[in-house]
Amino acid sequence: MSIRIREASSLLKWKSNLEIESQTLLSSWTGNNSCNWLGITCDEDYKFVSNINLTNMGLRGTLETLNFSSLSNIITLNLSNNFLNGSIPPDIGALYKLYHFDLSNNDLTGTIPYEITKLTNLHVLYLDNNVFNGFIPNEIGALRNLRELSISYANFTGTIPISIGNLAFLSHLNLGGNNLIGNIPKEIWNLSKLKYLAAEKNKFNGSIIPKDIVNLHKLETLDLSNSDLSINGPILEDLWKLENLTYLSLSLCKVIGHIPFSIGKLDNLLYLNLANNRIYGHIPKEIGKLINMKHLRLNDNSLSGFIPHEIGMMRNLVEINLSNNSLSGKIPHTIGNLSKLQNLTIFTNHLTGPLPTEINMLFNLAYFFIFDNDFIGQLPHNICIGGKLKYFAVLKNNFTGPVPMSLKNCSSILSGNKFYGHISPDWGKCRSLAILNISGNNISGGIPPELGEATNLYSLDLSSNYLTGKIPK
């Protein structure tokens, strides 16, 4: 039996064991010429199957009936984004030429077979988003040609094998979202080619020395957030050495210290998350040099002082979260420069003064949370005129004046201020209004029956005002 016929026979047998709907999706799989089948590529001489790419096909079934021993020439096996279940068969080790192996985003279970570590030609291994049982194989370090190892959110337990330190060519390592314990082995910090390192959302109980982190000079992405790791030392002072960083998340890493002026040297940063740490002092004006940044999260720290005017130079920002700090002063007028901003969250600080009229220029703003501060004055009349603002919360401030009519376009929580005036019947015309809370103010007059026409309104609180008349039916 020729190689081609043997390969076709094995693939057809696997197809016949998939669910009926999946077999229909592979309707082109007939006969002995697998080189013409959907998702199958053969070598240049059409002697054998070299690539199997069935990503995003919606396939349902297992790998257990696929005879890998008869497919020993394949270089690429991509079955990602399907609904495959069951375990990875041990005979996967027969694919000794395999270069790219992707089973991510399936429902695979069981343990990772030891035989997978025999695939020494592998450059790429993706097993993310499955529900495996057990540990990362201790012998993983045998895959010495590996460039990318991504096994995130795959339910792995145990510790990170020390042998990962043998993967000298590794540039991408994603271990996030598992149940890993212990510490990150010191050997990982010697992988000098690493550009991407993510280990967030695990259950580690170790600590990291800053000099180990900055030893990885090529890092572009570093995410250690919410993983029960502690960074022992002044990591913030040394971050500037990682000049290639585009994504940095160290939230809940027990980071202590102030944000140094040198933060401005990280001009490639797109995402910075230092939330839920022990960071104190002022936000340096040099942060305005990070003109490429899109997400800035410094919430839940002990920051004080003013929001620097230079923040208006960060024109690519789509998110600012400075909530739960001790910031004071006014929102700088330069905020109006941030035309791409979608989320402005600065609640629970000591911010004062009226809102700058430049807020009206934030036409893409969808989430605006400024509650629990000391703001005064009236809300800008066109605060929600653009129609994109979905949630607006200003409770526990000292705002006065009438409630702007433009707020009928968004869900609003205005309680605990000093607003006055009447509830307009026009509010009932807003089909997108879901939440309206103006309790604890000085609103007077009656409740307009038209409010009942806001059919998506599911939360309404008008208590502790000076409303009169009957409650409309």
- Asked whether residue 248 carries a pLDDT value surpassing 90, the answer given is yes
Instruction: Return the pLDDT at 459.
Output: 87
Instruction: Return the pLDDT at 38.
Output: 96
DSSP string computed for 349-386: SEEEEPPPGGGGG-TT--EEE--SSEEEEPPPTTTTTT
Residues whose CB is less than 8 angstroms from the CB of residue 296 and which lie 6 or more positions away in sequence, other chains included: 272, 287, 314, 317, 319, 320, 321, 322
* 450 domain residue, yes or no: yes
The reply to whether 422 and 381 lie within a common domain is yes
* 298 domain residue, yes or no: yes
What's the rounded Cα separation, in Å, for the pair 197 and 209? 16
Q: What is the DSSP secondary structure assignment for residue 471, as one 8-state letter?
A: P
User: Which residue has tokens 């940095």?
Assistant: 248
Compute how many other C-beta atoms are within 10 angstroms of the C-beta atom of residue 237: 16
- Asked whether residue 408 carries a pLDDT value surpassing 70, the answer given is no
Instruction: Return the pLDDT at 379.
Output: 86
Q: How does the average pLDDT of the chain come out, rounded? A: 93
Domains contained in the chain, number: 2
Residue-wise pLDDT for 410-436, tens only, equals 777 778 888 888 888 877 777 777 888
Domain boundary among 312, 336, 367: 367
Q: CA-CA-CA-CA torsion for 280, 281, 282, 288, nearest 10 degrees? A: -60
What range does the domain containing 397 cover?
Answer: 376-472
What's the rounded Cα separation, in Å, for the pair 403 and 420? 7
The structure tokens listed for 89 are 């068969």
Query: Averaged over 356-378, what is the pLDDT?
Result: 92
The reply to whether 411 and 454 lie within a common domain is yes
* 304 domain residue, yes or no: yes
> Which stretches of 197-331 are DSSP H helices?
210-214, 235-238
Q: pTM of the entire structure?
A: 0.93
Domain boundary among 334, 367, 400: 367
Domain boundary among 367, 394, 417: 367
* CATH number, residue 355: 3.80.10.10
Compute how many other C-beta atoms are within 10 angstroms of the C-beta atom of residue 375: 20
- Asked whether residue 472 carries a pLDDT value surpassing 80, the answer given is no
- Residue 48 near residue 7, CB atoms below 8 Å: yes
The structure tokens listed for 383 are 């605060």
Query: Averaged over 302-325, what is the pLDDT?
Result: 98
What's the rounded Cα separation, in Å, for the pair 140 and 162? 9
The reply to whether 381 and 362 lie within a common domain is no
pLDDT class for 409, splitting at 50, 70, 90? low
